[in-house]
């Protein structure tokens, strides 16, 4: 079986400086929001990743005009004009390629009072319902899909008109918080979201909506208040915030290779959940005075000890850094505990990490990680986006040549990962491998 892969010969400490790209999970919400403008806008610091390409194609398929320009830094600059949108339906098969296509429900409802969407896709972590989104839209006056009865397929919602209301979430949901902000921005009257998600990308989408002319207050806290407006004039430029998860992934890559890396164009406070755990383990994390970079390294002879981590919504430890953090825990002394508190099934990569010598036992949502001296090279599969990034980190630390297959999953969220790692001294290249031919593995 041929699969695209990253071929990595590990054991080299990563050293040097890199720049972080724009946030995947912010730009996907922002792109959907841009479909609501009654004007045009320019988006800068857009990461050149495959999830963005899918979302841009989805927006174009609605009739929006989007021109894309590659910048010398490697990011994209998008000029967006949604005034030519001529449908409320996003029902093609490409909708199922990504999770964030669900933001088109909120955006199209806000734009025209109608939205029709194929069920979104995304990484497989067990059940990923969208009942909270649909209950909130229903409370705002949208009729159509029944939140309790979703067997997949097409969701169609109509609201005449969409009205502001109080929305209480019993589970903190990034997607539902953003979707309700989108719909409420143009609804009649006031909407209050209670128990909202507080992730940095929630704040970025709210800032973008406000730049469009929306009236949103409280994003970044657990109560968000939105006063709907009839027109969102637009005509502005907006730069996407740096990616918290890409930053964390390079922090882990630097640490597990015993490297010394300075990571630029970041927001250090967003990294505090990971930085504080890494400091506790014995790594040195220095925030530079310019306040937009951090340096990650390990003092000579510093012993790296294990710790316990529990994922939870921001400002807790991000679930999207859970697999990378498990790689970090593998190379620490003692027994560590990783508790996955957000997703039902996000340990699917552990059998792959075990092929590299990891010693991990999973009990439902808890992984008990026993420290090992070293990873060994192996052929492993990127079972999802962040799992793939974690396996790349492990391969960078392992002696010998590893292949991380299904690398397309990693490209969903990491701009130019091969070039960035090479600039730090990594031996990594893209490769097409026959997985049955490598080291006798099937
Ligand atoms: C977003 O997914 C991110 N995706 C995920 O990142 C991230 O893991 C997740 O937030 C949590 O931070 C995007 O932004 C595109 P949720 P989302 O709604 O919005 C339950 C990555 O690697 N829930 O916050 O789909 C749900 O089952 C990706 O970049 C309901 O029960 O996540 C989960 O247990 C992977 N009903 C919890 O809430 C709902 O209607 C949090 O999910 C919605 C969610």
Domain ranges of the chain: 2-20+242-439, 24-239
State how far the alpha carbon of 326 is from the alpha carbons of 32, 253, 353, 406, 415, in Å.
33, 12, 9, 20, 23
Averaged pLDDT in 10-residue chunks for the chain of 442 residues: 83 97 98 97 98 97 98 96 96 90 96 91 79 95 75 84 96 98 98 98 98 97 98 94 98 98 96 97 91 93 94 98 98 98 95 98 97 97 97 97 96 96 97 57 32
51 Cβ below 6 A of ligand 1: no
145 Cβ below 6 A of ligand 1: no
- Dist. CA 301 → ligand 1 center (Å): 40
Q: What is the pLDDT of residue 405?
A: 96
Task: Work out which ligand 1 atom sits closest to the CA atom of 133.
Answer: 40
Q: What is the pLDDT of residue 281?
A: 98
173 Cβ below 6 A of ligand 1: yes
320 Cβ below 6 A of ligand 1: yes
412 Cβ below 6 A of ligand 1: no
The class (CATH top level) of 2-20+242-439 is alpha beta
Whether 24-239 and 2-20+242-439 are alike in CATH topology: the answer is yes
Query: Do 112 and 82 form a contact (C-beta atoms < 8 A)?
Result: no
274 Cβ below 6 A of ligand 1: no
- Dist. CA 123 → ligand 1 center (Å): 10
Instruction: Pick the residue whose CA is nearest to atom 25 on ligand 1.
Output: 175
390 Cβ below 6 A of ligand 1: no
User: Which member of 41, 59, 123, 393 is catalytic?
Assistant: 123
Instruction: Pick the residue whose CA is nearest to atom 22 on ligand 1.
Output: 320
Instruction: Pick the residue whose CA is nearest to atom 10 on ligand 1.
Output: 174
Task: Work out which ligand 1 atom sits closest to the CA atom of 344.
Answer: 34
Instruction: Pick the residue whose CA is nearest to atom 44 on ligand 1.
Output: 173
Residue-wise pLDDT for 325-351, tens only, equals: 999 999 999 999 999 999 999 999 999
Residue-wise pLDDT for 249-275, tens only, equals: 999 999 999 999 999 999 999 999 999
Q: What is the pLDDT of residue 153?
A: 82
Instruction: Pick the residue whose CA is nearest to atom 7 on ligand 1.
Output: 320
The class (CATH top level) of 24-239 is alpha beta
- Dist. CA 94 → ligand 1 center (Å): 19
Task: Work out which ligand 1 atom sits closest to the CA atom of 126.
Answer: 27
Task: Work out which ligand 1 atom sits closest to the CA atom of 386.
Answer: 22
Q: What is the pLDDT of residue 321?
A: 98
Q: Which residues contact 255 (CB under 8 A, 6 or more apart)?
A: 278, 283, 296, 298, 328
């Amino acid at each position: 079986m041929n699969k695209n892969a990253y071929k990595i010969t590990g054991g080299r400490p990563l050293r040097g400086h890199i720049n972080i790209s724009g946030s995947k999970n912010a730009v996907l919400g922002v792109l959907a929001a841009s479909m609501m403008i009654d004007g045009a806008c320019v988006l800068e610091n857009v990461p050149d990743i495959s999830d963005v390409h899918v979302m841009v194609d989805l927006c174009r398929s609605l009739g929006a005009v989007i021109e894309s320009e590659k910048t010398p830094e490697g990011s994209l600059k998008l000029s967006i004009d949604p005034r030519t949108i001529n449908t409320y339906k996003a029902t093609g098969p490409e909708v199922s390629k990504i999770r964030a296509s669900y933001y088109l429900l909120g955006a199209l409802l806000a734009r025209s009072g109608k939205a029709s969407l194929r069920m979104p896709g995304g990484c497989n972590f067990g059940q990923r319902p969208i009942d909270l989104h649909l209950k909130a839209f229903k409370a705002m006056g949208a009729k159509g899909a029944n939140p309790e009865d979703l067997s997949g397929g097409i969701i169609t919602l109509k609201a005449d008109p969409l009205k502001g209301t109080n929305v209480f979430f019993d589970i903190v949901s990034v997607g539902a918080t953003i979707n309700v902000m989108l719909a409420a921005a143009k609804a009649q009257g006031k909407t209050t979201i209670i128990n909202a998600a507080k992730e940095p990308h929630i704040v970025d989408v709210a800032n973008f909506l406000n730049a469009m002319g929306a009236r949103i207050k409280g994003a970044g806290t657990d109560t968000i208040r939105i006063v709907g407006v009839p027109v969102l004039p637009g005509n502005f430029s907006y730069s996407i915030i740096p990616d918290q998860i890409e930053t964390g992934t390079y922090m882990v890559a630097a640490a597990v290779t015993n490297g010394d890396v300075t990571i630029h164009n970041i927001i250090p406070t967003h990294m505090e959940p990971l930085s504080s755990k890494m400091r506790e383990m014995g790594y040195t994390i220095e925030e530079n005075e310019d306040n937009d970079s951090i340096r990650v390294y390990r003092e000579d002879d510093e012993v790296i000890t294990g710790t316990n981590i529990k994922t939870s919504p921001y400002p807790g430890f991000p679930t999207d850094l859970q697999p990378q953090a498990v790689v970090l825990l593998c190379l620490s002394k003692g027994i560590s505990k990783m508790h996955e508190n957000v997703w039902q099934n996000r340990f699917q990569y552990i059998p792959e990490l075990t092929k590299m010598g990891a010693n991990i036992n999973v009990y439902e949502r808890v992984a008990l990680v026993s420290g090992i001296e070293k990873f060994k090279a192996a052929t492993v599969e990127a079972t999802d986006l962040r799992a793939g990034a974690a396996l790349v980190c492990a391969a960078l630390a392992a002696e010998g040549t590893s292949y991380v297959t299904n690398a397309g999953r990693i490209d969903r969220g990491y701009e130019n990962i091969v070039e960035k790692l090479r600039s730090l001294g990594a031996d990594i290249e893209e490769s097409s491998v026959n997985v049955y031919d490598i080291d006798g593995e099937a």
